C-alpha cells in the first residue's frame, strides 16, 4: 500500500516513475531511441545533438554493451 506521494508505507521507496522528473525520463527515452537507430546503422551526425547529449548517448551505448555481454555469459548455478 502506498501513500498519496507514491511511497511504500513500509520501506519508503518511491515509485520508479516518480524518482526522476518527467523531462529527464523523456530525454533518456530519446537517447535510448537514438542508440537503437545508431545500432541499426543510421548516421546521427546531423541530428543537432549537444555535447552533453553525445556524452549521454555514449553512456547509454556502454550500458547496452555491458547488458549484451552479460546476456552472452553463461549463468553460474548456485
pLDDT digits (tens, 9 = 90+) for 1-36: 666 666 666 665 556 566 777 888 888 888 888 888
**Overall number of domains in the chain:** 1
Name the β-bridge partners of 2: 8
Residue 11 lies in a domain: no
Q: What is the pLDDT of residue 11?
A: 63
Residue 3 counted as domain residue: no
Domain assignment present for residue 42? The answer is yes
Mean pLDDT of 60-67: 89
Q: Is 57 helix (H, G, I), strand (E, B) or coil?
A: helix
pLDDT of residue 7: 65
Asked if the structure places residue 4 within a domain, the reply is: no
Q: How far is CA 53 from the centre of its chain?
A: 13
pLDDT of residue 45: 79
Q: Is residue 10 part of a domain?
A: no
**Does 12 map to a domain?**
no
Average pLDDT over residues 45-59: 85
Range of the domain at 24: 20-72
Element (H or E) spanning 38, and its range? helix 22-39
2/14 Cα distance (integer angstroms): 9
Say what the pTM is. 0.61
Q: What is the DSSP letter of 14?
A: B
Distance, in Å, from the CA atom of 37 to the CA atom of 35, rounded to the nearest integer, reads 5
Q: Is residue 2 part of a domain?
A: no
pLDDT at 10: 65
Whether residue 15 lies inside any domain: the answer is no
Amino acid at each position: 500500500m502506498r501513500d498519496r506521494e507514491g511511497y511504500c508505507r513500509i520501506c519508503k521507496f518511491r515509485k520508479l516513475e516518480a524518482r526522476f522528473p518527467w523531462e529527464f525520463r523523456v530525454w533518456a527515452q530519446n537517447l535510448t531511441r537514438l542508440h537503437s537507430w545508431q545500432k541499426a546503422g543510421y548516421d546521427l551526425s546531423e541530428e543537432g545533438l549537444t555535447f552533453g547529449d553525445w556524452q549521454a548517448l555514449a553512456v547509454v551505448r556502454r550500458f547496452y554493451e555491458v547488458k549484451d555481454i552479460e546476456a552472452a555469459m553463461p549463468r553460474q548455478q548456485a
